[in-house]
Amino acid sequence: MNRYCLGLFLLLIAAPSSARQKLDLSGHLKLFSTTTFFDNSSLFSTGALGGSVTDARLKVLWRPQRKLRIELHPTLGLEHTARGGSVLSTGTERTMDEALPLSRTVVDDPGVRITARFDRASLRWDHKRLRLTMGRQPVSFGKGVLFTPLDLISPFNPATLDQSYKPGVDALRVDLFQGVSGRVSLVAAYLDDWSLDGTALALQSKGSVGDWEIEGFLGHVYEDVVIGGSAFFNGGGAGYYGDVNLSITEPENFLRCVIGVQHKPSEKTALNGELYYQSLGASEPSGYASRRSSHRFLRGELWLAGELYGALGGQIELHPLVQGGGALIVNALDASVLVMPNLNWNVAENATLAGGMLLGVGERPTSLMTLRSEFGAAPATLFVQGSFHF
């Protein structure tokens, strides 16, 4: 990794002064503290477990020419855990398998882990209607907010604390723009190797007709052939959207889909509701354990074990400097609920302080292999987050 940093430094120094003037630097420092409380029925532990994460990110955006853009995000992460740590993910510690060796673990002890990584390292070239992006970059598909059946490459789940920066993946992307909203995109992304089943290949088309925005999707992700699409309708006071994903695979094809609505009852309030279905989910709570041990769970593609879910999220401005919000997710099969409230305070122009919790409500498990409800197995977790931007 050091030789890449040295190469970047020499490149910047050797650039003409006019090019260096087009260099934009910014970044952030974020600190997270989490505490998870386990009761006597917990499958994992008893008492309380805590942890902290520090995330430092420098954002480098260099435009040596009008058509050329280089983006680099070197990051430094410090994770500290006590007695096993929290079960809640901050999102900043997530990484993907990489084709480019741009990460290094500096310290890897049982209670402390320090990592350095380029989370973005991409070169973008624009020529008329064509855009070519190569290197480490975020890749996202679909319209879903809380449930994202088409977002198959390093997806977040709603319980992730910080979703500001999706983990970058090593990819080659070609975009062809047409008119105001038309676009055709071709993406080849590295997942765990360069074999067909170790990469993601995706073709997406996007356009608009009247108040409708429509997207089509065709891809090969891991071992699946994926056919899907998205739609968004601007209904004036509300927006309606949906994603559908049909995965053709062995031993059985399966369907994932979401429909949602977003509405602003007032200038200070925003609401979002979604319904989600996945045919590969368990039809009985006794099947949750096997779903959670599947390879799709282990690689982060899925995070829910049931079939049908509903969700409600929202934000409200309590004060010009204070916003409240959160989300509530319900498993329709066992009536368990995941509650995730939060509160954000803009302490200064470039600093924020946030806090909240994650709470599972439902029947408690009797053993690791006998889950009586999905979210009833989730322990209560409190978090505090501080962010400084420069």
pLDDT tens-place string over residues 111-158: 899 999 999 999 999 999 999 999 999 999 999 999 999 999 888 888
- Asked if 161 and 90 count as a contact pair (C-beta separation under 8 A), the reply is yes
367 pLDDT higher than 90: no
181/184 Cα distance (integer angstroms): 10
Region 70-74: mean pLDDT is: 97
1: confidence class by pLDDT, cuts 50, 70, 90: low
DSSP state of 287: G
Q: What pLDDT is stored for residue 7 in this prediction? A: 52
Q: What pLDDT is stored for residue 273 in this prediction? A: 97
186 pLDDT higher than 80: yes
Q: What pLDDT is stored for residue 89 in this prediction? A: 73
- Asked if 279 and 254 count as a contact pair (C-beta separation under 8 A), the reply is yes
With a CB cutoff of 8 Å and minimum separation 6, the contacts of 294 are 302
- How many Cβ atoms are within 10 Å of 291's Cβ, its own excluded? 19
Q: How many separate helices (H) and strands (E) can be counted in the chain? A: 4, 19
With a CB cutoff of 8 Å and minimum separation 6, the contacts of 238 are 261, 262, 263
For 323, the 3-state DSSP assignment is strand
DSSP state of 367: B
Structure tokens at 275: 């319904």
- Helix, strand, coil percentages for the chain (3-state, nearest 5): 10, 55, 35
366 pLDDT higher than 60: yes
Domains of the chain: 1-41+50-119 (no CATH), 42-49+120-389 (2.40.160.10)
Q: 200-219 pLDDT, tens per residue? A: 999 999 999 999 999 999 99
282/289 Cα distance (integer angstroms): 9
Q: What is the pTM of this model?
A: 0.89
State residue 13 phi and psi, 5-degree precision: -70, -40
Q: 36-62 pLDDT, tens per residue? A: 888 765 555 567 888 899 999 999 999
